Chain A
Amino acid sequence: MKVKKLCILALLTAIALVIFVAEGQIPPVIAVPGVKLGLSNIIVLLTMYIYGRREAAAVLGLKIILGSVFSGQLMSFFYSAAGGVLAFAVLALLKGILTEKQIWAASAFGAAAHNIGQLIVAIAILGTEKLAWYLPVLLFSGIVTGLFTGFCAQICLPRLRKAVKL
């Protein structure tokens, strides 16, 4: 059982990384820094609802560290880390409140929190608090992309459970 869990967590991390790198190759549709689909978060959501918070934190942490190694930009690590920590806090909190049929909502709030975290780091690094004007744009895009990834996770969860017999 322990080996199986270890394998599946490693597999999930690998899938998340592949999605992350593949998504980075797609040219941005909307040219605003911080606006992206965040498809790899589907895997983080799945891990959280299959195993739990600690396991999801491990997958997310590894994805952020290895993802910025693969993308080769040190700066992106700080943005992802801040967004990741905030998004994870929101997701972990909502997991206790919302049911398994409401992953889409948890994901939307998590993605919004992720973008807020990134904005805070951007303000700290660029040193201009006027960047807060970005907030409506980032919140809007966070909710929309979060809903999308949330629905994807919602659809995948029962199928994955059945396929791997978790």
Chain B
Amino acid sequence: MSKSSKILIAVLAALLIGCGAFFLLAPKSAEVALVYLDGELYCEVELSGVKESYTLSIGEGNVALVEAGGISMQSADCPDQLCVKQGKATVLQPVTCLPNKVTIIVEGAADSEVDIVIGG
């Protein structure tokens, strides 16, 4: 194997590991969901205090399901149904309905980088 091939493998491996580390480091708890329709903030949903699940219609075609600690797309009138299959939105994987221009972005708690507070 040539030297340049080794460098290429190293660069690609570093990129893959870098992306992988991003998955691990990203905050996992979903606190607030921001729903965007056509590039504008449609509504903000508090996720941490949800006890009973309810549905939320977004625009004309989409219905989201808000549950305790998560939000997902329940139904959409688009042909590919990708947003419904995506399941719950996470910080790294917003739920997006490209045909209807709907995006659900989840944000974790601001202090999520702190694992444990000792003696607090």
* Separation of A133 and B104 alpha carbons in the complex (Å): 12
A-B contacts, CB under 8 A, total: 89
Q: Does A140 contact B (CB under 8 A)?
A: yes
Given that A105-B12, A137-B19 are known contacts, is A33 also in contact with B92, CB under 8 Å in the complex? no
Q: Are B12 and A133 in contact (CB under 8 A)?
A: no
Chain B interface, DSSP helix/strand/loop, else mixed: mixed
Q: A112-B15, A147-B12 are in contact. Are A136 and B92 (CB under 8 A)?
A: yes
Q: Which of B19, B23, B101 makes the CB contact (< 8 A) with A125?
A: B101
| Residue B8 interfacial (CB < 8 Å) | yes
Q: Are A127 and B96 touching (Cβ within 8 A)?
A: no
Q: With A and B bound together, what is the CA distance between A126 and B85 in angstroms? A: 20
Option from B9, B19, B36 in Cβ contact (under 8 Å) with A139: B19
B91 within 8 Å of A by Cβ? yes
Q: Report the separation of the CA atoms of residues A139 and B96 in the bound assembly, to the nearest whole angstrom.
A: 17
Q: How many residues of A contact B (CB 8 A)?
A: 30
A137-B8 contact in complex given A75-B98, A127-B40, A128-B103, C-beta closer than 8 Å? no
Contact of B82 among A28, A112, A122, A137 (CB under 8 A): A28
Q: What's the Cα separation between A126 and B35 when bound, in Å?
A: 11
List B contacts of A101 (CB < 8 A): 2, 5
The yes or no answer to A134 lying at the interface (CB within 8 A) is yes
Known contacts: A102-B5, A126-B36, A137-B92. The answer to whether A31 contacts B82 by CB under 8 A is yes
Q: Which of A28, A102, A136 contacts B19 (CB 8 A)?
A: A136
CA distance A6 to B68 in the complex (A): 60
**Residue pair B94, A131 in contact (C-beta under 8 Å):** yes
With a cutoff of 8 Å between Cβ atoms, the chain A residues found around residue B45 in the complex are: none
| Cβ 8 A contact of A143, one of B15, B22, B98 | B15
Residue of A nearest to B101 (CB): A126
Across-interface contacts of A143 in B (CB, < 8 A): 12, 15-16, 19
Binding site for A on B (CB under 8 A): 2, 4-5, 8-9, 12, 15-16, 18-20, 22-23, 26, 34, 36, 38-40, 79, 82, 85-87, 91-94, 96, 98-99, 101, 103, 105
**What is the interface of chain A, defined by CB distance below 8 A to chain B?**
28, 31-33, 73, 75, 79, 98-99, 101-102, 105, 108, 112, 122, 125-128, 130-131, 133-134, 136-137, 139-140, 143-144, 147
